[in-house]
Amino acid sequence: MTKAHRKNPAGPEARRPLVRVLRDRDAALYLAGVVVSGFGTSALWLASGVWVKDLTGSDGLAALCVLAMWTPTLAGPLLGTVADRVRRKPLLITASLLMACLLLTLFAVDSRDSLWLLFAVLFVYGAAGVVHDAAESALVAAAVDPDLLGDFNGLRTTANEGMKLVAPPAGAGLYAAYGGPSVALLDAATFVLATGVYAALRVREAPPRRPMANWRRQTAEGARHLWGHPGLRPLVLAGGITMLCAGVNGAAVYAVVDALGHSPAYAGTLYAVQGAGSVAVGLLAGPAVRRLGGRRFAATGITLLAVAVAARAVPSDALALASSAAIGAGLPTVLIAALTAVQHETPGPILGRVAATADSLVLAPNVLGLAAGAALVETVSPWLLLPAVGAVLLATATALRSP
C-alpha cells in the first residue's frame, strides 16, 4: 500500500498539526466518514433498546441489544484478518453498503415474535464494525503522515464523542415520532453517505499478497506481533485494565445519582459532561502524545481517571460534575495512545489483524466490567467500591510509567 500523497509543509502551518490534519484531503474525508457513520450508530444504539423495551416491557431483553453489538468484539483477531486479505478501501465501501441494505430489513420488526431479526442485525452490525475499524485503522496509517497520527486519532475521538452528545437525543426524538424503522432508515442513510466518502479517497492500494498460511495462522501472527512487541504490550494491557475499571464505574453511576438525591435521568447530565471532557482531550491528544510520549500520555490520563472515579464517592453535585468531566478526559488517553502506537509499530500487511486484536483486548473487558459492576453495586457500597476501583487504576498508571 502506498500513500496517495505526503505533505511536508514548512512555515507556521507545520507548527499547527490540527490545521494540517484538517487540510489534508484524505484525513478530512476520513473524519467526515467518522462523523456521519458515528451519528447513525449512536442513534441506533439508544433506539434499539427503547424499541425492545416497548415491544416486550423487559429491561433484560433491552440490555441484550448492547450485548449483541459488543459480542463480535471477542472475535476481533479473527475478523481483523479479513482486513489484511483484501484491499481496505473496497472493503470499507462493501461493508457500508451491506449494512445499509441489512438495516432496511428492520422494517419487518413489529412484534415480540420478530425481535430475533433485530438481534441478528445488531450482531452482524457489531461484526461488520470490527472489520470496518480494522480496515480503517490500516488505511489511515497509509494515508496520513505518521507525525499526524496522534492528532488524527485525537480528532477521531472528538468526532465520536461529539456524535454521542447529539445523536442519542436525535434518535430518541425520531423514534418517538415515527418508530424504530425510521431510526434504522436514518442509520442506513448514514452508511450510504459514508460509502460516498470512502469512494472519494485517493489512497492507492496494491493488491494484498496471497497468504502463505491458513486463516488460523494468519490470525495468530497478528496476536504474536502485538504480544511480543515491548512497546505495544504494556499499552494494550493498561488499556484492558482501564476499560475493565471503566465498566465497573459505569455500572455504579445510578448509585451515585441516587446518593445525590436526583432522579435516574440525572445520569444523562453526567454522561453529557463526560462526553464534553472526551471531546476536549481529543483536541489536545496529538501535541500531548508528541510532548509526553504515548506511555506517559496514557499514564497521565489513567491517573486523572483514578482520582475522578474515587472522587465520585463524595456526595456532592459540584464534585460529581467535575469528576465526570475528568473521567471523560482521562479515559480516552490510553485508547488514543494504544491505537497510535499500533499504527506506528506494525507493518502494513498485518496491521488490520493487529489493530483488531488490540481493540478486542482493550474493549472487551469493558463488558466484563459492566457485568461485574452490576453485581458488585448490589452488595458493596459505592463509597467503598469506587475508591477501590480508583486504586486499581492508580496502580495501572504507575506500572505504565515504569520503563
For the question of whether the overall pTM of this predicted structure is more than 0.85, the answer is no
pLDDT at residue number 144: 82
Instruction: Kindly tell me if the per-residue pLDDT of 300 is higher than 90.
Output: yes
- For residue 204, what are the β-bridge partners? 2
pLDDT at residue number 59: 64
Could you tell me if 137 and 352 are in contact, meaning their C-beta atoms sit under 8 angstroms apart? yes
CA end-to-end span of the chain, whole Å? 34
Region of poorest pLDDT, from 86-95, 213-222, 227-236, 256-265: 213-222
264 three-state secondary structure: coil
314-338 per-position pLDDT tens digit: 999 999 999 999 999 999 999 999 9
Residue type, 40: G
129-178 per-position pLDDT tens digit: 999 999 988 888 887 888 888 889 998 888 888 887 888 788 888 988 99
- Give the separation between CA 346 and CA 336, rounded to whole angstroms: 16
pLDDT at residue number 19: 78
249-259 per-position pLDDT tens digit: 988 888 898 88
Alpha-carbon radius of gyration of the chain = 21
Could you tell me if 350 and 221 are in contact, meaning their C-beta atoms sit under 8 angstroms apart? yes
Q: How confident is the model at residue 33 (pLDDT cuts 50, 70, 90)?
A: confident
